[in-house]
Amino acid sequence: DGGITQSPKYLFRKEGQNVTLSCEQNLNHDAMYWYRQDPGQGLRLIYYSQIVNDFQKGDIAEGYSVSREKKESFPLTVTSAQKNPTAFYLCASSTMEAPGGYGYTFGSGTRLTVV
């Protein structure tokens, strides 16, 4: 079955460490997105990519970095510059064929905790 796989499901980061969250899709979608979710704040867009080797900053990109070397993969690195990284991170993908891509497909999320 096609879908999006996020790993790991839980991740713990020490102060000053960079960590990378994985996102892989086999839906042949062109566009991929990273969102951060905090209680009561809905979804906030971190980065998105509409084509390989290109990506755009979202609303809260500071302290994060991404790459898009393959169509299927869009990893997110949470750097030590992100001062409050504890959150639930969601990856999504969509086609480019319609507004909103006919609706996004979401992964099951990664919960990152600073220890």
Question: By CB under 8 A, which span of 18-26, 45-53, 61-69, 77-85 interacts with other proteins?
Answer: 45-53
First to last CA, the chain: 36
Q: Is 45 in the site for other proteins (CB under 8 A)?
A: yes
Minimum CB separation from other proteins for residue 107, in Å?
5
Q: What is the dihedral of CA 21, 58, 113, 27, to 10 degrees?
A: -40
Question: By CB under 8 A, which span of 20-28, 67-75, 79-87, 107-115 interacts with other proteins?
Answer: 107-115
**How many angstroms separate the Cα of 49 from the Cα of each of 17, 31, 64, 103?**
25, 5, 14, 16
Q: Residues interacting with other proteins, by CB under 8 A?
A: 4, 6, 31, 33, 40-43, 45, 48, 50, 88, 90, 92, 94, 96, 98-109, 111
